[in-house]
Amino acid sequence: MSDFNELDDAFSVRAENITGQDDHENKLRPHYLTEFQGQSHIKDNLAVYIEGARTRNEALDHIFLNGPPGLGKTTLAQIIANELGVDFKVTSAPALDKPKDLAGILSTITERTVFFIDEIHRLKPAIEEMLYIAMEDYELDWIIGQGPTARTVRIPIPKFTLVGATTKAGTVSSPLISRFGIVERFEYYTHEELADIVNRSAGILGVEIDHDAAMLIAACCRGTPRIANRILRRMRDFAQFFNKQKEEPARITLSVVKTGLNRLQIDNLGLQRYDREILRNIIQKFGGGPVGAETLAISIGDSVDSLEDYYEPYLIQCGLLQRTPRGRIATPQAYDHLGLNAAATKKEKDENQRLLF
């Protein structure tokens, strides 16, 4: 009897919205494909798949979304549910600690529900194996009893659509990826796409913004809508503050954005203070490189994981940093961006090496 009670307790678990997004971010999220800016290659394909599933009144095939953070994976999962007109449940892999957590969620879903798992690469093996059967056979394997008397019970569940999202597709196991019928990768947004997002968000926030101001914000947000919306909200604050002093209606102009970005220490490439500090340390402390990741991380007072996963990717995309077998090297573009003299830095490095020997 206790085994069945445990099973009932497992099924009482519910999926929760643990994405960590605040109310401001949720307010700015688009709700349908027509409102979603950018990623046209993904939108066009999904529109076909969704229409097909809707026409046949079937559950959409499982979808695997991968790409850098902040590009709209969670938002797109919600849009898919809205377009299909079905329920939406969301959780993240770290929240699924035991198989009964997953069983509790899947036992409460309705037909054709869209079930979103964020950071799916962090699923534990036991939960992943349970998910395999649920994705393919739409059944749950549950073990009743212990030892020689243990037996497996197969519990049918409604057909659903699993949407798995990850920022590290390379760490997702091959058996799991192979069970997704639709695999899409998000790309960074262009300046024009980001400017459209900024204009849309400004309208939702009820603040006017000039075209050149929107383009400047778009150029400084690392190709990421989440950062664009975050900067926009701060520019709204600056606009309201400055215009209040002038007793004028709040409007985000180019001068407001320039002043705000300067106060936030964000430059025209979207580099923040720590990004520039990394480049300066490589150039000024280590003669332009090469320098190891651990040494560089210590020099800026941060962890190696933060350096490799958060700071370096964008610096490499901008052509300011190179990863080599010997270490990190600052490119000539990095010298130009920081206004440093590459020849003088090399001469100083050679002089220091000569003094050492």
List residues with catalytic annotation: 73-74, 118, 167, 226
**112 contacts: CB under 8 Å, gap ≥ 6:** 53, 58, 59, 60, 84, 86, 158, 159, 160, 161
> How far is the C-alpha of 212 from the C-alpha of 218, rounded, in Å?
10
CA distances from 203 to 14, 26, 249 (A): 35, 15, 15
- Which residues in 175-326 belong to E strands, given as ranges? 182-185, 208-209, 251-252, 321-324
- Give SS3 for 298: helix
> How far is the C-alpha of 223 from the C-alpha of 191, rounded, in Å?
7
> How far is the C-alpha of 214 from the C-alpha of 207, rounded, in Å?
12
DSSP 147: G
Can you give the three-state secondary structure of 281-293, one letter per residue?
Answer: HHHHHCCCCCECH
| Residue with the two structure tokens 């969670």 | 74
Contact 74, 90 (CB under 8 A): yes
Q: Residues 165, 20, 34, 38: is their CA dihedral positive or negative?
A: negative
DSSP 250: -
Residue 326 backbone zone (phi > 0: left; psi -120 to 50: alpha; other: beta)? alpha
> How far is the C-alpha of 300 from the C-alpha of 80, rounded, in Å?
42
- Which two structure tokens, joined as six digits, stand for 162? 């699993």
